[in-house]
Amino acid sequence: MQGGRSITTLSEHACFGGVQGFYQHDSDETGTTMKFGVFVPPQAKLKPVPVLFFLAGLTCSEETFAIKAGAQRHAAEHGLMIVTPDTSPRDTGVEGADANWDFGSAAGFYLDATETPWRTNWRMGSYVTRELRRIVFGHFEVREDRVGLFGHSMGGHGALTLALNNPGLYQSVSAFAPIAAPMQCPWGVKAFTGYLGDDKNAWARHDATQLIKAGARVPPLLIDQGLADKFLAEQLHPGLFEAACLAAGQPLTLRRHDGHDHGYYFIATFMADHLAHHARHLLAD
């Protein structure tokens, strides 16, 4: 580790020749203690490596992906570091933060809230794109010019929108079952109303489909979607995003899979493909 703002090691575990670790730090963005995980591949012992940030979905934490996705073997083969932030600030003391599974704690939606009482702590957009990025760069052997972003469900939404809103920040992007048109679904309407208020223009800045229509672009996208996903019809709307990308000329590979649901068995099944997708972009000369 190279130094920088202090972090505390919670645990570290030997894993596929590398190390899966969990850490915490005091966050300026959220005003809370934030936890995150990092898988360091064996190649990082010799040289800086590309880094992938994975954004998890509703109810998840910094541990969920590391435990369930089976990503470390593939990341070790490619020489990719994987960083997993928590999905929201915790223990904020904000009234109602723990009242709903799809809003508040573990449901930060990877944006900066503007409405009281959420705006003080719920700053996950800036946390992921600025603060956590700086901490990882300061403490781990990474290539700062080779950074990818991917996620699942709410985190898939985050991966798409953070990349679209920050051109050039990420050199590769992908998603599993993302909330692809949040202005058109109950999860998105609830989150946007609570965090952003009633201004639909503000909502559109955090809706991947609307961002594509408005001219935002990212590197070629890979999205996987299970057709047995119980949230597909009401919450996810990948078809709306697909149509927007087609009309705009945004490169997109959207793969639909019979029999697969919304969970981590689905994610683990196609994890090798996603890490290969990122490796093609992040390891290219």
Which residues form the catalytic set?
A: 153, 229, 262
Strand, helix or coil for residue 225 = strand
Residue 45 DSSP label:
G
In 104-193, the DSSP E strands lie at: 142-152, 172-176
Instruction: Give the strand pairing for 221-226 and 252-257.
Output: parallel
d(CA 282, CA 82): 13
Which residue has 């957009």 as its token pair? Answer: 125
Is the separation of the CB atoms in 257 and 224 below 8 Å? yes
Q: Containing H/E element for 182? A: none
Pairing relationship of beta strands 49-55 and 142-152 according to DSSP bridges? parallel
